[in-house]
């Protein structure tokens, strides 16, 4: 099983800087790399990564994207004096040169390609290249916006050529539009380019009409260019997550990339002078985590922008920790996106409706800019930036406790096997109201469950799995255990996949959020904290689970922010096992990864797959046209009904007046 996170950095790339007075370029300083690298060291992350050396890119590699004339011109900067460098720079926009920048640009590109090689040849699972000069603004024959060679665009062209890839996803979360990258792939359906960027209705740099949501790609590439403009500053975690849930993730799963490249600019984080946004560094751990179940985990993050050294270095650490499979931190106060973000989300979904199955059957209308748009509000971030930079991050706990009912499977040594005789009797809790039939089973069940949960709450493991004779009884046992002895757990999310009516009278006090996916219409009353999701069966296959996951379950779960997640799955549910594994993986973004999987009459293969998901191993992609028409209608109606109570579900501006 492929593991390991590459960290590619060389201090040679700090050896160029701005040599004259040029204010717009003054923020692009060498310390961006050195401070970030030292923070990685302070947090003990450098030694946990696999260090891959940089190399110089070859001319042939540069010419994959750039013209010979452009390359020859850049070469001449090596022997220029400051006045000549300044004159040379004046032919381009917002970019400076230095005698050593050509060398560094070859190293930045070489580092990026080393990362692609390491991931594609399975030396590592994922990784990050800390490079400068960045790349996403540079074009066939033009440097632009601090960029010389387009590192990520060339990485995509290189990966297609060297590894014969047919589908590559580029996620550009830098706060500037990577117009350079967009130009390279505008008519290319094999590269899905996604970018969000500060736009302010074309008032923000690079002030291009083609950066708006209406640019969707050309010819065969139509639908494979996705621009999400931020028309106001001050965007927060909720805005970013909403775009992932309601636009990027469904598209990415439908596209099913073989490789994910991240143009990882962190000027989209809080306190950045360019972005002026409010998303916290911890948010980037979640953005990374949410992408890691694609392409069997093959992800290459390449640094683009990021100019507040404190914010930048913490964002990079959060990204690396997510790559390493560490528990991702709670995100607080997730709620409805702001109206401006909703407007952008609505418009992006509307223009892409004809290109993507998950959108095609939805009633989406464009929201044209109301001309008297209220003036830009200088939104300030009210929440303090929680960068508790611990001196040394303790290594995360052993991953998974497994309690089986006698199934004979080979457990990886990263698992903690729970069996009856190993559970000290004092750990056995007699549940007040447990009514599990048959004393033997109930005792066995209770012992297994509470020992797994004890391990989770004592932080001996991160998550756990228990095979159970009856899902509903097991859920009740878990809930009663938590109320009895886990007072640190105040909110439990239960995701129950099954047709039985859940018996418990659901007092809506918010301690329990029950989401039940079922193939029959449940008569149980729907309430804020009891969400039945009807998923029609086609043959014996249940469709629409992934759509429900992105447009309902994950958004509500993030807003609920549970302390523990419990999934209760049955193998007979008719849900594609690969989809259940995706669900198990993605839900680990909640509750700092404290997840308990209850499985009814498990098949061995499904047990093994679920354990792999819990251990954070790469999981297989979902390939069968994941998002189905009819099922989408049901989920869509449910989303409409719930969006008033769960604002993160909104995808359109709901004008009250």
Ligand X SMILES: COCC(O)(O)CCCCCNCCCN
Q: Which residues contact ligand X by CB under 6 A?
A: 24, 94, 134-137, 145-147, 174, 176, 205, 265, 267, 274, 304-305
Binder of residue 147, out of ligand X, Zn ion, none (CB less than 5 to 8 A by kind): ligand X
Place of tokens 């460098």: 85
Residue corresponding to tokens 């096992």? 577
- Three-point CA angle 251, 337, 581, nearest 5°: 40
How many residues of this chain bind Zn ion (CB under 5 A)?
5
Min dist. Cβ of residue 307 to ligand X (A): 7
Least distance CB 347 / Zn ion (angstroms): 22
CB atoms within 10 A of CB 374: 9
Write down the least CB distance from residue 24 to ligand X, Å.
Answer: 4
In the complex, least distance from residue 272 CB atom to Zn ion, rounded to whole angstroms? 8
For residue 482, what are its two tokens?
A: 């938590």
User: Do 125 and 618 form a contact (C-beta atoms < 8 A)?
Assistant: yes
Taking the complex as a whole, how short is the minimal distance between the CB of residue 348 and ligand X, in angstroms? 20
Identified binder of Zn ion from the candidate list 127, 305, 555, 593, rule CB under 5 A: 305
According to DSSP, residue 553 is labeled I
Residue 88, binding choice from ligand X, Zn ion, none, Cβ under 5 to 8 Å by partner class: none
| Nearest Cα residue to 283 out of 319, 247, 256, 255 | 319
First vs last C-alpha separation in the chain:
55
- From Zn ion, ligand X, none, which one binds at residue 145 (CB under 5 to 8 Å depending on kind)? ligand X
Using the minimum distance from each CB to ligand X, give the nearer residue, 145 or 555: 145
**Considering only residues 176, 246, 455, 476, which one is a binding residue for Zn ion as defined by CB under 5 A?**
176
CA–CA gap between residue 123 and residue 568 (Å, rounded): 35
| Residue placing its CB nearer to Zn ion in the complex, 9 or 307 | 307
Q: Does residue 330 have an active-site annotation?
A: no
Closest of 189, 164, 57 to residue 111, by C-alpha = 57
Q: How many CB atoms lie within 10 A of CB 115?
A: 28
Q: Which among 283-291, 301-309, 320-328, 573-581 is the span making contact with Zn ion, rule CB under 5 A?
A: 301-309
Residues 6+ apart with CB under 8 A from 593: 327, 328, 462, 463
The sign of the CA dihedral 442, 446, 447, 448 is: positive
Nearer to ligand X, 182 or 463 (CB): 182
Applying CB under 5 A, the span of 65-73, 302-310, 313-321, 550-558 interacting with Zn ion comes to 302-310
Tokens at 236, concatenated: 């927060």
Q: Which of 591, 596, 557 is nearest to 489 (CA)?
A: 591
CA angle 548, 334, 370 (to 5 degrees): 85
Residues in the chain: 657
Q: Residue 147 or 533: which CB sits closer to ligand X?
A: 147
Question: Which residue, chain included where needed, has tokens 């600019």?
Answer: 265
DSSP3 helix / strand / coil % (the chain, rounded to 5): 40, 15, 45
β-strand pairing of 541-542 with 537-538: antiparallel
For Zn ion, the closer of residues 28 and 258 by Cβ is: 28
What minimum distance in Å lies between the beta carbon of 304 and Zn ion? Answer: 6
Please name which of 594, 593, 544, 598 lies closest in space to residue 567, comparing C-alpha atoms. Answer: 598
The tokens describing 65, both together, are 């994207």
- Please report, as residue ranges, which positions from 267 to 286 form the binding site for Zn ion (by CB under 5 A): 267
The residue annotated as part of the active site, out of 66, 98, 136, 137, is 137
Peptide bond into 63 cis (omega under 30): no
Residues of this chain, 14-33, that bind Zn ion according to CB under 5 A: none
Nearer to Zn ion, 283 or 579 (CB): 283
Provide, rounded to whole angstroms, the least separation between the CB of residue 648 and Zn ion.
Answer: 26
Distance CA 186, CA 431 (A): 61
576 binds, among Zn ion, ligand X, none (CB under 5 to 8 A by kind): none
Residue 110: contacted member of ligand X, Zn ion, none (CB under 5 to 8 Å, by partner type):
none
With CB under 5 to 8 Å by kind, the binding choice for 348 among ligand X, Zn ion, none is: none
Q: Is the CB of 174 or the CB of 563 nearer to ligand X?
A: 174
Q: Which of 28, 94, 174, 617 binds Zn ion (CB under 5 A)?
A: 174
Least Å from the CB of residue 59 to ligand X: 22
Which partner, ligand X, Zn ion, none, binds residue 504 by CB below 5 to 8 Å per kind?
A: none
Among the listed ranges 21-29, 175-183, 403-411, 455-463, the one in contact with Zn ion (CB under 5 A) is 175-183
Phi, psi of 514 (to 5 degrees): -105, 120
Q: Which is nearer to ligand X, 95 or 614 (CB)?
A: 95
**Residue 205 contact among ligand X, Zn ion, none, beta carbon within 5 to 8 Å by kind:** ligand X
The SS3 assignment for 13 reads helix
Nearer to Zn ion, 174 or 188 (CB): 174
Q: Shortest Cβ contact with ligand X: which residue?
A: 305
Nearer to ligand X by Cβ, of 130 and 147: the residue is 147
Of 27-35, 94-102, 303-311, 536-544, the segment contacting Zn ion by CB under 5 A is: 303-311
Q: In what order do the strands lie in the sheet with 564-570?
A: 415-418, 398-403, 461-468, 595-600, 564-570, 492-497, 512-518, 530-534
| Subset of 545-604 contacting Zn ion (CB under 5 A) | none
| Residue 135 is a binding residue for Zn ion (CB under 5 A) | no
User: Which residue's Cβ lies closest to Zn ion?
Assistant: 305
- Give the CA count within 13 Å in the CB-facing half-sphere of 159: 32
265 is a site residue for Zn ion (CB under 5 A)? yes
| 257 interface partner picked from Zn ion, ligand X, none, CB below 5 to 8 A per type | none
Residues 6+ apart with CB under 8 A from 458: none
Residue 136's binding partner, choosing from Zn ion, ligand X, none, with beta-carbon cut-off 5 to 8 A by kind?
A: ligand X
Q: Residue 461: which of 598, 327, 288 has the closest Cα? A: 327
Catalytic center residues: 137
- List contacts with Zn ion (CB under 5 A): 174, 176, 265, 267, 305
């Amino acid at each position: 099983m492929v593991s390991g996170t590459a960290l590619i950095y060389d201090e040679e790339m700090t050896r160029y800087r701005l040599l004259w007075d040029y204010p717009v370029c003054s923020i692009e300083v060498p310390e961006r790399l050195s401070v970030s690298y030292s923070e990685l060291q302070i947090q003990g992350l450098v030694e946990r990564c696999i260090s891959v050396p940089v190399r110089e890119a070859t001319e042939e590699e540069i010419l994959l994207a750039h013209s010979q004339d452009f390359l020859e011109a850049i070469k001449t900067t090596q022997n220029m004096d400051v006045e000549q460098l300044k004159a040379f720079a004046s032919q381009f926009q917002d970019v400076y040169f230095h005698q050593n920048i050509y060398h560094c640009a070859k190293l930045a590109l070489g580092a990026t390609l080393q990362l692609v090689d390491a991931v594609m040849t399975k030396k590592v699972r994922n990784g990050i290249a800390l490079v400068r000069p960045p790349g996403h603004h540079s074009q066939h024959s033009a440097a632009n916006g601090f960029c010389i060679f387009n590192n990520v665009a060339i990485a995509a062209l290189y990966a297609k050529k060297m590894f014969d890839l047919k589908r590559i996803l580029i996620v550009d979360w830098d706060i500037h539009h990577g117009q350079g990258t967009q130009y390279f792939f505008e008519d290319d359906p094999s590269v899905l380019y996604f970018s969000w960027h500060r736009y302010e209705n074309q008032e923000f740099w690079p002030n291009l009409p083609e950066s708006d949501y209406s640019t969707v790609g050309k010819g065969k590439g139509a639908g494979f260019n996705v621009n999400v403009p931020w028309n106001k500053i001050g965007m927060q975690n909720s805005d970013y997550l909403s775009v992932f849930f309601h636009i990027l993730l469904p598209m990415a799963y439908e596209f099913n990339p073989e490789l994910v490249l991240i143009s990882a600019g962190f000027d989209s984080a809080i306190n950045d002078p360019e972005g002026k946004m409010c998303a916290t560094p911890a948010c980037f751990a979640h953005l990374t985590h949410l992408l890691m179940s694609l392409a069997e985990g093959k992800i290459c993050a390449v640094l683009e922008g990021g100019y507040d050294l404190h914010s930048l270095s913490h964002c990079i650490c959060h990204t690396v920790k997510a790559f390493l499979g560490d528990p991702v931190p709670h995100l607080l106060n997730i709620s409805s996106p702001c109206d401006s973000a909703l407007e952008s989300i609505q418009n992006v979904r509307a223009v892409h409706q004809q290109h993507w199955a998950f959108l095609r059957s939805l009633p989406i209308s464009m929201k044209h800019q109301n001309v008297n748009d209220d003036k830009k509000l200088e939104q300030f971030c009210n929440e303090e930036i929680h960068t508790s930079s611990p001196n040394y991050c303790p290594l995360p706990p052993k991953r998974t406790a497994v309690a089986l009912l006698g199934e004979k499977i080979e457990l990886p040594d990263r698992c903690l096997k729970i069996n009856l005789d190993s559970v000290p009797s004092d750990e056995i809790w007699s549940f007040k109201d447990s009514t599990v039939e048959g004393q033997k089973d109930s005792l066995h069940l209770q012992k297994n469950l509470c020992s797994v949960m004890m391990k989770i709450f004592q932080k001996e493991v991160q998550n756990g799995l228990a095979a159970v004779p009856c899902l509903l009884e097991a859920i009740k046992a878990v809930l009663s255990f938590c109320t009895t002895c886990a007072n640190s757990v105040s909110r439990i999310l239960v995701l129950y996949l099954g047709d039985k009516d859940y018996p418990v009278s659901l007092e809506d006090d918010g301690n329990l959020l029950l989401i039940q996916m079922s193939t029959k219409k449940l008569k149980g009353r729907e309430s804020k904290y009891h969400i039945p999701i009807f998923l029609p069966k086609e043959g014996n296959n249940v469709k629409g689970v992934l759509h429900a996951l992105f447009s309902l379950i994950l958004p509500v779960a993030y807003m609920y922010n549970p302390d523990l997640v419990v999934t209760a799955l049955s193998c007979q549910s008719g849900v594609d096992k690969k989809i259940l594994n995706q669900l198990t993986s993605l839900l680990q973004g909640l509750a700092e990864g404290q997840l308990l999987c209850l499985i009814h009459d498990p098949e061995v293969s499904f047990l093994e797959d679920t354990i792999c998901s819990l251990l954070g191993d790469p999981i297989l992609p979902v390939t069968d046209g994941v998002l189905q028409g009819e099922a989408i209608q049901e989920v869509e109606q449910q989303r409409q009904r719930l969006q008033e109570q769960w604002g993160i579900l909104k995808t359109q501006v709901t004008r009250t007046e």
